[in-house]
Amino acid sequence: MERNVIVKSFSAHKGLNSPLTITPQMQRDMVDMLNGNMFTGLVMTFVAFSGLTFGFNTDNDQSTKMILWAAMIIVTLARLADGLYWHFQLKGTGYSVKAVKFRFAVGVYLISVIWALYSVLLHSSMSAVELATTMVVLGAMAGGAASVLAPSKTLVSIYTTSLLVPMSVCALFHDDENFFVLGVLGMVFWMGILSSSLRYHRFFFDTVSLRDKNNHLIEQMRSDKKETAKINAMLRKSNEQLDDANANLEDEVEKRTADIFRLSNRDPLTNLLNRNGLFKQLNTLIETTRALDNNLAVLFIDLDGFKQVNDSLGHKIGDIVLAEIANRLARYCEKDHLARWGGDEFVAVTPYATVHTAVAVAHAMRSGVTEPIIALDNQITLDATIGIAIYPEHGNDTMTLIQQADLTMYDQKRKQRGTIGVFSETLHEKIKHEQHLCEQLRYAKEKNEFSVYYQPVVCANTQKITSVEALLRWHCDGQLVSPAHFIPLAERTGLMPDIGSWVLNRACIDATEWPFDEKIALSVNVSISQLLGERFINSLDKVLASTNIEPALLYLEITESVFANNIEAVALQIHNIKQRGVKISIDDFGTGYSSLSRLQSMPCDVIKIDRSFVQNTNEGSDTIMRATMLIAKEFDCKTIAEGIETLDQMNHVKTLGVDFIQGFLYAKPMPLSDLKTWYNENN
């Protein structure tokens, strides 16, 4: 690539500070112009030289003139040939600018030399007229060259100088003083022509540079246009591709959105709505129902017996059962109105339903659930407890309705599994009260609100006191709350092990202050969570050690219901208790789950017949009491009849052979201080 040449020559001369950049194109333009003007120049040279040579005949130097004329002819012909070669062969091709310029310059230099020689060699023999004529011709030639050779500063300078300076200098120093004026004129001419030729030169380059820049700009514009067209085409293509991609993307996004919606709103196992989906659906349904001023029912369904299926048959079967139950429930409501709330809990929404319709749907659902399920060769029978809440009667919004239905189900489950309950204000109040009690229960111990009452147990034959049962009392906000009420709450909130251990400790301490003359046993109730608590045996040991109570005089009462579950753990704890010499009583016997085989594995010392049998005078109760007496005899246990309030009841149980009697007939549960008075009065 040819490098650009920076020309500073005229910048200083013209007071221009910007350097002139000569591009290769400008070089070419310069050579083209020099060669293009060459023919006129050659003709002028030939005519002028021939005119001067043959116009003035001077005898002495005619031969010198002829020699110079011949030299001029040769150089002129050579330049003509070179000019023609350029014109016909090179012009418009990618010819070497440097070589053509060089040949042109050589031609101009040779002509310059010939003109200089002409002046120097011939001036002395010239007449005043010839010299003046020669001076005029040379001046005209120099003037012409000023524009023709303007593209090259060097050429124009050398050419005009060689035409005018030698002749003018010779005239200045000529013997004839008249020539002096001609010499001065020649020098002035020379300077004028030189100065204007240099201006031409600058003008020429400015023009060429401008044209070059224009061309360059046009070229640039063309290429930019081409590039723009290319980019436009690419953009068009990209746009088309983008449109295609967008169309695909929209499909994909639609599909993904549907997937995300499904994942975030559906339960994968049952394909029912999940909690999230239920909230959305129920919100919409409530809005519609509100607009129509209608009712809507929310059914909270909890399976009974599912936990046992999962625990005993494994999660795989558990999953099959849940999916099957979901299908069965879906028979009684729209699939989009049914949700899996979690675990074995479902929520169904029945729009436009009154209590009556909702209960009917709940019954239908229960009957669907209770049909036997076959899962991997296992036949499974479940039941469901259902709580119902109605919009707007029981709640105005999604969360409240679900909560009320859930609470109803929970309450129903506590009362009787496999039943249906409808939310009521009473239930709401009861739940609120329970929540309040639960809250109070947490701080009851610190607030010294607990105390232990004692109820004597007497021997059926001697009517003498043989033991006392410790019964917990809670004075909450100055009011006595029944243990039958708060103990289940304490069990639910996990507070029972701690409270029970406090009772055991308190009762054993009180036992060290018994007002009795003979050895009287102490009975303390122990709940299931307390019995199975990991710290139970430890706290029993501590109590035995700290109070020095005789283990054989301590009876721990466990309700018969503890045998319903976790039989191994219960058996182990009973074994640990008996190992310490402490006795076991089975409380509320006849109301729970005892079977003979279980009793066999749970060695107990006393069986307490529940007061419901004692107070019921029907034959069924009697039969149960008789059976209990037989079982007790079989297992070598003593019996206590609870809840004896009348002499008749007392005589009746005595005839049945009960060993001990406990009831209001003898004494109600009382504080330790009252027990002393009672004992002194009744002993």
Question: Is there binding between residue 669 and ligand C2E (CB under 6 A)?
Answer: yes
Residues between 620 and 659 with contacts to ligand C2E, criterion CB under 6 A: 642-645
Which of ligand C2E, Mg ion, none is residue 643 near (CB under 5 to 8 Å by kind)? Answer: ligand C2E
Binder among 29, 406, 588, 659 for ligand C2E (CB under 6 A): 588
DSSP H or E stretch at residue 522:
strand 521-525
Per rule CB under 6 A, is residue 457 in the interface with ligand C2E? no
Q: Is the dihedral of CA 256, 258, 263, 269 positive or negative?
A: negative
DSSP run (H or E) holding 559 = strand 554-559
Which amino acid, one-letter code, is at 663? G
Stretch of 222-230, 458-466, 579-587, 652-660 lying at the interface with Mg ion (CB under 5 A): 579-587
Per-residue contact track with ligand C2E, 264 to 283, x per CB under 6 A?
A: --------------------
- The listed partner (Mg ion, ligand C2E, none) that binds 472, CB under 5 to 8 Å by sort, is ligand C2E
Q: How far is the CB of 387 from ligand C2E (least distance, A)?
A: 27
Q: Which does 162 bind (CB under 5 to 8 A by kind): Mg ion, ligand C2E, none?
A: none
For ligand C2E, which is the closer residue by CB, 378 or 612? 612
Residue 527 contacts ligand C2E per CB under 6 A: yes
- Give the whole-angstrom CA distance, residue 1 versus residue 254: 59
Structure tokens that stand for 659 in this block: 């060993």
Nearer to ligand C2E, 473 or 578 (CB): 473
Q: How many Å separate Cα 243 from the centre of its chain?
A: 28
CA dist., res. 410 & res. 233, Å (int):
72
Contact 526, 503 (CB under 8 A): no
Q: Is residue 487 close enough to count as binding ligand C2E by CB under 6 A?
A: yes
* Alpha-carbon gap, residue 156 to 104, rounded angstroms: 12
Could you say whether residue 483 binds ligand C2E (CB under 6 A)?
yes
Is 420 near ligand C2E (CB under 6 A)?
no
Helices (H), 416-553: 425-444, 483-492, 496-511, 528-532, 536-547
DSSP bridge pairs for 186: none
562 makes contact, choosing from Mg ion, ligand C2E, none, with CB < 5 to 8 Å by partner type, with none
Smallest separation (angstroms) from ligand C2E to the CB of 472: 3
Q: What is the 3-state secondary structure (H, E, C) of 467-490?
A: EEEEEEEEEECCEEECHHHHHHHH
Stretch that binds ligand C2E, among 307-315, 519-527, 653-661, 674-682 (CB under 6 A): 519-527
Phi-psi region of 590 (alpha: psi -120 to 50; beta: other; left: phi over 0): left
Q: Select 363 or 442, whichever has its Cβ closest to ligand C2E.
A: 442
Phi-psi region of 488 (alpha: psi -120 to 50; beta: other; left: phi over 0): alpha
Does residue 525 touch Mg ion according to CB under 5 A?
Answer: yes
Q: How large is the angle between the packed helices 355-370 and 315-329, nearest 10 degrees?
A: 140
- Looking at residues 628 to 647 of the shown chain, list those that interact with Mg ion (rule: CB under 5 A): 642
Nearer to ligand C2E (CB atom), residue 162 or residue 455: 455
CB distance 367 to 264 below 8 Å: no
The residue (of 29 and 587) whose beta carbon lies closer to Mg ion is 587
Query: How many residues in the shown chain lie near ligand C2E by CB under 6 A?
Result: 24
Contact window for ligand C2E (CB under 6 A) among 218-226, 234-242, 340-348, 524-532:
524-532
Tokens of 220: 């640039």
Cβ closer to ligand C2E: 391 or 666? 666
Figure out which of the listed residues 212, 267, 411, 588 binds Mg ion, where binding follows CB under 5 A: 588
Q: CA angle, 298 as apex, 297 and 301 as ends, to 5°?
A: 135
446, with CB counted inside 10 A (0-12, 13-18, 19+), is exposed
> Which residue's CB is nearer to Mg ion, number 338 or number 667?
667
* Residue from the set 472, 540, 543, 629 that interacts with ligand C2E by CB under 6 A: 472
- Is there a contact between 469 and 511 (Cβ–Cβ < 8 Å)? no
| Residue whose C-alpha is closest to residue 452's, from 491, 487, 504, 401 | 504
Minimum Å distance from CB 576 to Mg ion? 20
Q: Quick one: 301 or 472, whose CB is closer to ligand C2E?
A: 472
Is position 557 an interface residue for Mg ion (rule: CB under 5 A)?
Answer: yes
72 binds, among ligand C2E, Mg ion, none (CB under 5 to 8 A by kind): none
Contact 613, 627 (CB under 8 A): no
Interface of this chain with ligand C2E, residues 558 to 587, rule: CB under 6 A: 587
Q: Which is nearer to Mg ion, 53 or 467 (CB)?
A: 467
Shortest Å, Cβ 505 to ligand C2E: 11
664 binds ligand C2E (CB under 6 A): yes
Q: Does 508 bind ligand C2E (CB under 6 A)?
A: no
Considering the complex, what minimum distance in angstroms separates the CB of residue 662 from ligand C2E? 6
Residue number with CB closer to ligand C2E (1 or 484): 484
Shortest Å, Cβ 645 to ligand C2E = 4
Q: Under 8 Å CB-to-CB from 279, ≥6 apart: which residues?
A: 398
Site for Mg ion (CB under 5 A): which residue of 587, 589, 614, 639?
Answer: 587
Q: What angle do CA 139, 142, 146 make, to 5 degrees?
A: 140
Residue from the set 500, 506, 544, 549 that interacts with ligand C2E by CB under 6 A = 500
Of the candidates 584, 576, 521, the one whose C-alpha atom is nearest the C-alpha of residue 558 is 584
Count of chain residues binding Mg ion (CB under 5 A): 5
Long-range contacts of 225-228 (CB under 8 A, 24+ apart): none
Structure tokens at 497: 């092990």
C-alpha angle 36/39/43, rounded to 5°?
155
Considering only residues 538 to 557 of the shown chain, the ones binding ligand C2E according to CB under 6 A are 557
Question: Minimum distance between the CB of residue 621 and ligand C2E, rounded to whole angstroms?
Answer: 15
Q: Give the residue with the Cβ less far from Mg ion, 505 or 523.
A: 523
**Quick one: DSSP state of residue 553?**
G
Contact flag: residue 344 with Mg ion (CB under 5 A): no
Q: Which of 18, 482, 618, 680 binds ligand C2E (CB under 6 A)?
A: 482
Segment near ligand C2E (CB under 6 A), from 13-21, 316-324, 354-362, 520-528? 520-528
Instruction: Choose which of 45, 663, 678, 679 interacts with ligand C2E (CB under 6 A).
Output: 663
Q: Applying CB under 5 A, does 37 fall inside the site for Mg ion?
A: no
Q: Rounded to whole angstroms, how far apart are CA atoms 627 and 619?
A: 12
Cβ atoms of residues 351 and 285 within 8 Å: yes
**Is residue 533 near ligand C2E by the rule CB under 6 A?**
no
CB-wise, 155 or 496, nearer to ligand C2E? 496
Report yes or no: 569 and 591 within 8 Å, Cβ to Cβ: no
| Pair 383, 365: CB distance under 8 Å | no
Q: Which of residues 589-618 bind ligand C2E (CB under 6 A)?
A: 611
75 Cα distance to chain centroid: 91
Helix then strand then coil, % of the chain, to nearest 5: 65, 15, 20
Encoded amino acid at 19, one letter? P
* Coil/strand/helix, residue 588: strand
Which residues contribute to the site for ligand C2E (CB under 6 A)? 455, 471-472, 482-484, 487, 500, 503, 525-527, 557, 587-588, 611, 642-645, 662-664, 669
Which residues contribute to the site for Mg ion (CB under 5 A)? 525, 557, 587-588, 642
